[in-house]
Amino acid sequence: MLRNAKGLTAIELMGALAIALLVIGTLIVLLGQSHSSAVRIALRETVQQEAEDSLRHMVSAIRTGFAATAGADYALSLDNAETGEYIRYRRLADGRLTFESSRIPEGADTAVALGATLSHHTESVEVSVAEGRVSIALTMRYEGSRTETFRTVAYTLR
């Protein structure tokens, strides 16, 4: 047996490779977990932003002073009987919250129709209207079955 031999034995080489593979594997697992966490956080932020934007849009519409009603066809309908203008919010079966409106721009004689999707993650919209007070509960769906409800109250200006 040579005591002063230089170089690595096969066992030392295999041990070094095993440690290197263990470190690389740990890094890959940590990067994968970080990525999936980042995706979940981004989705949560998107859903929360959609909820805030939707509620802000609805409150702004309620403050136009149009007569507010809640019903089966629309989660919230705001109508001006004098001019025929309206703003309506509806939750579709695929989870989208949409609005449609027919408004007469200032200085114009004819109404302009608009519509857009406010959210793609809406689980439900509950609206109650009583004496100019409109309560809105907007339940948003995250991944899987997790939901969160956002609530607000607005008053019509009439």
127 vs 72, more confident: 127
Q: What is the pTM of this model?
A: 0.76
147 in any annotated domain = yes
Largest CA distance in the chain: 106
74 in any annotated domain = yes
Per-residue CA distances from 147 to 18, 43, 97, 121, 135 (Å) = 44, 12, 15, 10, 19
Domain containing residue 117: 50-155
Q: What is the mean pLDDT of residues 42-67?
A: 92
33 in any annotated domain = no
Give the lowest-confidence range in 59-63, 69-73, 116-120: 69-73
The total of other beta-carbon atoms located within 10 Å of residue 125's CB is 20
Are 147 and 140 spatial neighbours (Cβ–Cβ below 8 Å)? yes
pLDDT, position 53: 95
Q: How many domains does the structure of the chain reveal?
A: 1
28 in any annotated domain = no
pLDDT at 93 over 60: yes
